[in-house]
Amino acid sequence: MSTKTKYVYLFGGARTEGAASMKNLLGGKGANLAEMCRLGITVPSGFTISTEACTVFTERGRDAALKLIEGEVLEGVAFVEQEMGKKFGNAADPLLLSVRSGARASMPGMMDTILNLGLNDEAVVGLAAKAGNERFAWDSYRRFVQMYGDVVMGLKPVSKEDHDPFEVIIDMIKETRGVKLDTELDTADLKELVARFKALIRARIGRDFPTDPWEQLWGAVVAVFESWNNDRARVYRELNDIPEAWGTAVNVQAMVFGNLGDSSATGVAFTRDAGTGEDLFNGEFLVNAQGEDVVAGIRTPQQVSLVGSRRWAELAQVGEDERRAKYPSLEELMPEIYRQLLHAETTLENHFKDMQDLEFTIQEGRLWMLQTRNGKRTGAAMVRIAMEMLQQGMIDEKTALQRVAPDRLNDLLHPIFDPKALKASKVIARGLPASPGAATGQVVFFADEAEEWAKQGKAVILVRQETSPEDLRGMSVAKGILTARGGMTSHAAVVARGMGKCCVSGAGAVHVDPKARTMSIGEQVYAEGDWISLNGSTGEVFAGRIQTKDAELSGDFGALMALADRYKRMEVRTNADTPEEARVARAFGATGIGLCRTEHMFFEGERIVPMREMILADDEDGRRKALAKLLPIQRADFEGLFREMSGLPVTIRLLDPPLHEFVPHDEAGQREMAKEMKVPLTKIRMRVDELQEFNPMLGLRGCRLGIVHPEITEMQARAIFEAALDARAKGAVVKAEIMVPLVGTVREFNAQAKVIRAVAAQVFAERGQSIEVMLGTMIETPRAALVADSIGRQAEFFSFGTNDLTQMTMGFSRDDAGRFLPDYVKAGMYEHDPFRSIDQKGVGLLVEMAVNKGRAVRPDIEVGVCGEHGGDPASVAFFHRAGLDYVSCSPFRVPIARLAAAQAAIADG
């Protein structure tokens, strides 16, 4: 006997089949609608068509999918009819439906929703009569034709400068009527709109708008399935690593109406502040409005709570009298509804134990909840909400740690405006503090141009009237986003917070003219390319560039980090080449330096000169003379590092890059070098040519340099030992580790170790004192990983150089892979860029093997990683599982790695 797959799940007052736990099947929206019904919260009845139906649709096509679900959908509609006491398709008293997409992971605004489905020329008359409100019926109808025309029939703007064709018609009618707001259009205008919309559809696609409600319903269901594969959904999935295979569910639900007059409204709310994390219920609503009106920024939304309303008024520079008259809060306007809403938000937050993002509609004095989900928030809000919910006893320590996405700590580590520079700057406009942070950049008006400019290395601020999902890519590369319209829950605001990007929204004084590529504020006109700055925490817009300054760990952030340290097993070190970097990293909680690249010390200022002398020298003697000049410089640098990191390990890598990196390759540079060195240009040219390699990454570099020219290793070892003794003499506790790069065979390591030990003996003899220094190697060639047991017998520690290891194992040149890797990843050859997140199945295997081989011969061998991957949360989790003792990453990723390490330990149980 075969059991039939169930594709449709009911929710409503009488019966609910789904639950929050069924997100994979019902999508986030459907699962939570069902859960709200279970909690006794008032939700319009409906049903959810499962994501499995979407998969059938994608794989086997429309007819197969519809045949499978048809019977259950008919039953679903019958259920809603019974719940609402109205019939779908009954023109005299029509049941109207909304058709809403809903994937597993929330993708706000990414896919399409259709409202008021079931209306046609007869039903609109019935609806008007039943509601006793003709304007409402026609307003609903024009919205339906507009949404259906867009989503199902494909009437989109033609080009990026073009407007939505329906909005163009609306603007035309508004102009002839001399009105500004949608709400000012009367019934006759709305009838006119419907007629014109239909004519537009007919003219554009040669088909009439469907009048049969069932035809409308099937069309809408198919459109939602198809929307899973539209461009903006694809881009969103790409940016957020959502697999294509998940599919979307379709929610079909009875309509409730926020546009039934002044006792009706629609809104969105957050149980806590999504920008700062403050435990304050907040939200926005519009009276006599429907659907996305609040988010679309068509009218200025009102605040839900009185506190919020007063705060808003202050920012928007609206006086208290005007606020109360024109923009009263829901708390003032409909106190009883506000009380119910508070009850719902408390119930939902307590139930889901996380900050909720809510959608609601008020129909003639009755509150209906339309959606709840875990709200998107800034990194700062993530931290604060997690720590406060922990203090409030809502969640435990492990949950608090897991609530913060490590990467999002970036937001808190971002620079803020330098207070002094800020004082000297002029505020040119104010908007809403939609997403915190400081941004300074050049104005661009189009998302694709933001991308182009950013590619050229420019800092850009994307300025738009309002943003839409088409702007995603441009938003993701901009330093900040400024919109002229839209509230705290506008598309720009929600998306920017999700990205941790600075955003000021609804700066009403800003007039954007996309055709002229200018924005004007009062008399002042700003053109594309002009510099402006944004403060996303206050909503201020400034003229010009403003200096920024680094953030610090404190408050909830500091507490979260302390908590992370209690759970993590791995240490987090930093990659630092200067005492200044070491200081920053130590403040961020680094417990050592995992990689000091000595060569970086040679590039600065005058130092390059003796380095070049060494490279130009004809013989060992000449090289030694030049190296003697470098010695005191290196010694001082190392001493500074040892003192800054007193008590903590400092791992110093011997010279690694090919020598040609230190000489100029252009004619002008070579001339200058010739003049400075007092040698003929031809000599420089010859030497540069000699140093040229076809594949420098596989050439004379790493320990190969020290083996060919032992005097280089000698100088560096001497600098390290002398610095260690000097720092100790000044009171520092020195824990130095010398690291030999690019080893492939134990003989290379032994050869370098011999040189280093000989120098140590000499220095100790000269100084009459000695110091313990560990001697280890990098594991960064595949061969080193393969023979790690033989190397481990000699080396006291391993540090995985996963950049080189990835490059050599995968055969991708790091310098050239940028040309094809993005396309390659898009084509699914690899799941992600292996230089960003370690290739666990391949390169990772080498790491695991080398750890095991090393431990087998030297049980207490210290193993760490110092490639870029040390700051990537997924890689950090992998290194934890592989049993590494520490990861090392750039100073600004240290907190991220600490949290990722704690999460990895928690996941490990």
What are the catalytic residues? 491, 866
**Which partner in Mg ion, ligand ADP, none is near 804 (CB below 5 to 8 A by kind)?**
Mg ion
Q: What is the Cα–Cα distance from 828 to 807, expressed in whole angstroms?
A: 19
**Which partner in ligand ADP, Mg ion, none is near 297 (CB below 5 to 8 A by kind)?**
none
Interface residue list for Mg ion (CB under 5 A): 359, 371, 780, 801, 804
- How are beta strands 531-535 and 649-653 bridged, if at all? unpaired
Closer of 139 and 359 to ligand ADP (Cβ): 359
Q: Which residue spans within 64-110 are E strands per DSSP?
A: 97-103
Q: Which amino acid is at 629?
A: K
- Are the beta carbons of 888 and 864 closer than 8 angstroms? yes
In whole angstroms, how far apart are CA 336 and each of 268, 342, 372?
Answer: 17, 10, 21
CB of 550 to ligand ADP, least distance (A): 37
Using alpha carbons only, what angle is made at residue 433 by residues 544 and 293, rounded to the nearest 5 degrees? Answer: 120
CB of 566 to ligand ADP, least distance (A): 39
Q: Which amino acid is at 750?
A: N
Who contacts 516 (Cβ-Cβ below 8 Å, separation ≥6)?
Answer: none
Residue 733's CB is within 10 A of a number of other CB atoms, namely: 12
**Which partner in ligand ADP, Mg ion, none is near 801 (CB below 5 to 8 A by kind)?**
Mg ion
- Are the beta carbons of 806 and 812 closer than 8 angstroms? yes
Closer of 359 and 644 to Mg ion (Cβ): 359
Closer of 98 and 467 to ligand ADP (Cβ): 98
Residue 255 has, within 13 A of its CA and on its CB side, a CA count of: 28
Q: What is the Cα–Cα distance from 564 to 830, expressed in whole angstroms?
A: 31
Residue 515's CB is within 10 A of a number of other CB atoms, namely: 7
- Are the beta carbons of 491 and 475 closer than 8 angstroms? no
CB of 455 to ligand ADP, least distance (A): 30
Closer of 20 and 755 to ligand ADP (Cβ): 20
CB of 866 to Mg ion, least distance (A): 9
Who contacts 226 (Cβ-Cβ below 8 Å, separation ≥6)?
Answer: none
**Which partner in ligand ADP, Mg ion, none is near 115 (CB below 5 to 8 A by kind)?**
ligand ADP
**Which partner in ligand ADP, Mg ion, none is near 256 (CB below 5 to 8 A by kind)?**
ligand ADP
Interface residue list for ligand ADP (CB under 6 A): 44, 98, 100, 108-109, 113, 115, 253, 255-256, 266, 291-292, 359, 361, 370-371
CB of 490 to Mg ion, least distance (A): 14
**Which partner in ligand ADP, Mg ion, none is near 253 (CB below 5 to 8 A by kind)?**
ligand ADP
CB of 891 to ligand ADP, least distance (A): 39
Residue spans of alpha helices (H) in 464-574: 472-477, 491-499, 555-567
The structure tokens listed for 769 are 């004192």
In whole angstroms, how far apart are CA 533 and each of 419, 423, 503, 550?
Answer: 14, 13, 11, 16
Closer of 370 and 601 to ligand ADP (Cβ): 370
Q: What is the Cα–Cα distance from 481 to 654, expressed in whole angstroms?
A: 44
In the block, which residue shows the tokens 């047991």?
789
In the block, which residue shows the tokens 């690593």?
241
Q: Fill in the DSSP letter of residue 87.
A: B
CB of 653 to ligand ADP, least distance (A): 51
**Which partner in Mg ion, ligand ADP, none is near 780 (CB below 5 to 8 A by kind)?**
Mg ion
Closer of 442 and 875 to Mg ion (Cβ): 875
Residues in the chain: 909
Using alpha carbons only, what angle is made at residue 765 by residues 760 and 766, rounded to the nearest 5 degrees? Answer: 100
> By C-alpha distance, which of 826, 834, 832, 823 is closest to 869?
834
- What is the three-class DSSP state of 2? coil
The structure tokens listed for 483 are 């919109």
CB of 110 to ligand ADP, least distance (A): 7
Closer of 599 and 711 to Mg ion (Cβ): 599
**Which partner in ligand ADP, Mg ion, none is near 44 (CB below 5 to 8 A by kind)?**
ligand ADP
Closer of 286 and 432 to ligand ADP (Cβ): 286
Q: Which residue is nearest to ligand ADP (CB)?
A: 100
